[in-house]
Amino acid sequence: MINSRCTTSGSVAMHVAIPVIAPVPTNWLVIREILSWAKGYVRANRPTSAMATAGAAVRPLRVLLVTPRYLAEAGGTEIHTHEVARRLVAGGHCVTILTADRSGRLAKDEEVEGIRVLRVRAWPARCDYFFAPGVYRTIAGGDWDVVHCQGYHTLLAPLAMLAAWRRALPYIVTFHSGGHSSRVRKTFRRAQWALLRPLLARAERLVGVSQFEADFFRQRLRLPSEQFVVIPNGSELPAPSAIAATGRAADKGTMIVSVGRLERYKGHHRVIRALPQLLERWPGLRLRIVGSGPYEATLRRLAHDLGMADRVEIRGIPAGDRQGMATVLLQAALVILLSDYESQGMAVMEALALRRPVLVADTAHLRELAERGYVQATPLDGSDRDVVEAIFSQLSRPLIPPAIELPGWDTCAD
């Protein structure tokens, strides 16, 4: 069994029905298990959940959070996992994070802020659909009260769910869904949902970060509504008064900010293409793109080809630098996110909390914000001219959102 490094004498009853698996499966056995599941052999009666046999959860809990990536890789899921994990530890729970290492150079077992972090080797190194057989072995040989899968996109989630199901461990899944720049990947999404449905159906809860996301998966998976719960991401922005002192007044009214990871589906290229026409009406306008990712070289080349290289700044902000992010948002005359798909759009929510004008694409959760009167929206498949007009309209007659209060990470962890 994997030593969790925690003493939880109060939860012994949680494990009386959990078998010890020995020996630990080899990579081939892991693959064979997956093939067996895919062929339908797991359609037999579900084993009795350890949570069900133990009755109400006994605290403290031994919690395993399974996430494809973890800090120092920065992204919404990574931040969510870390912020929730450290609050669970502060609440007296024993938390282990199980994640993948595609480089083979990261620490296999370390402690971060009281959180144990286990990393298992994953392949291929340069793709986001990587496979990490060590996930199955770790869960099968571990000692957990509950397994929480953060995200469903990679092959880690089905491995984790399969291992938890075979061990009769209760598990939950937070979707953290997003768009994708590959048309091939988007084409196979429905097949992916169909293949995952038997395992998702066995989850104790399925978590959406917005009502849109919960409804989206409830309808496509055809699962009972009571299995779904909405838990928004948290946010911790500094007080606006503390931020304003660090801003540059000259930026106000001249800088537009496009936020999001540097992927094609985030729509940054649409804003760059609009810039030459916007400058004819709004001289001195500058574009700041906040993010990092594989599309950066393409965006820089586009700005250069349009003669806009001196007007476009592309630079990310470290995930933990909330002061820096808030400062940039406050300096912006307009915050933009023309993404194909967003389950929540945390940067947009933070901009709204700071009462900045926002322009979004008319799609997914972003459409809900437009319907509530918080943001302006432009058609997802609109022309470059549509984008120009929408940006100019928001600069000329900005829609200032009403005051909203974002949920904090304490609320999310609770």
Give me the helices (H) in 211-345, please: 211-221, 240-244, 268-281, 296-305, 322-331
What confidence score (pLDDT) does residue 226 get? 97
Question: What pTM was computed for the model?
Answer: 0.76
What confidence score (pLDDT) does residue 190 get? 76
Rounded to whole angstroms, the Cα distance separating 341 from 217 reads 14
Rounded to whole angstroms, the Cα distance separating 280 from 348 reads 27
For β-strands 115-121 and 94-101, DSSP reports them as parallel
Rounded to whole angstroms, the Cα distance separating 257 from 259 reads 6
Q: What backbone torsions phi and psi does residue 112 show, to the nearest 5 degrees?
A: -130, 110
What confidence score (pLDDT) does residue 55 get? 41
Q: Does residue 60 have a cis peptide bond before it, meaning omega lies within 30 degrees of 0?
A: yes
| Tens-level pLDDT at each residue, the chain (414 residues) | 665 567 544 433 333 333 333 444 445 555 555 555 555 534 444 444 444 444 444 579 999 999 998 987 767 788 899 999 999 999 999 999 999 998 899 999 999 999 999 999 999 877 767 889 999 999 999 989 999 999 998 889 999 999 999 999 999 999 988 654 456 555 667 788 899 999 999 999 999 998 989 999 999 999 999 999 999 988 887 766 655 545 444 444 589 999 998 999 999 999 999 999 999 999 999 999 999 888 999 999 999 999 999 999 999 998 778 889 999 999 999 999 999 988 877 889 889 989 999 999 998 788 888 998 999 999 999 999 999 999 999 999 999 999 888 888 999 999
**For the purposes of burial, counting CB atoms within 10 Å of the CB of 85, is it exposed (0-12), middle (13-18) or buried (19 or more)?**
buried
What confidence score (pLDDT) does residue 25 get? 45
What confidence score (pLDDT) does residue 249 get? 40
Tokens coding 273: 């293409």
What confidence score (pLDDT) does residue 58 get? 55
What confidence score (pLDDT) does residue 351 get? 92
What confidence score (pLDDT) does residue 241 get? 60
Rounded to whole angstroms, the Cα distance separating 29 from 75 reads 33
What confidence score (pLDDT) does residue 177 get? 82
Rounded to whole angstroms, the Cα distance separating 15 from 33 reads 23
Rounded to whole angstroms, the Cα distance separating 259 from 335 reads 7
| Contact call for residues 208 and 343 (beta carbons, < 8 A) | yes
Query: For residue 284, which amino acid is it?
Result: G
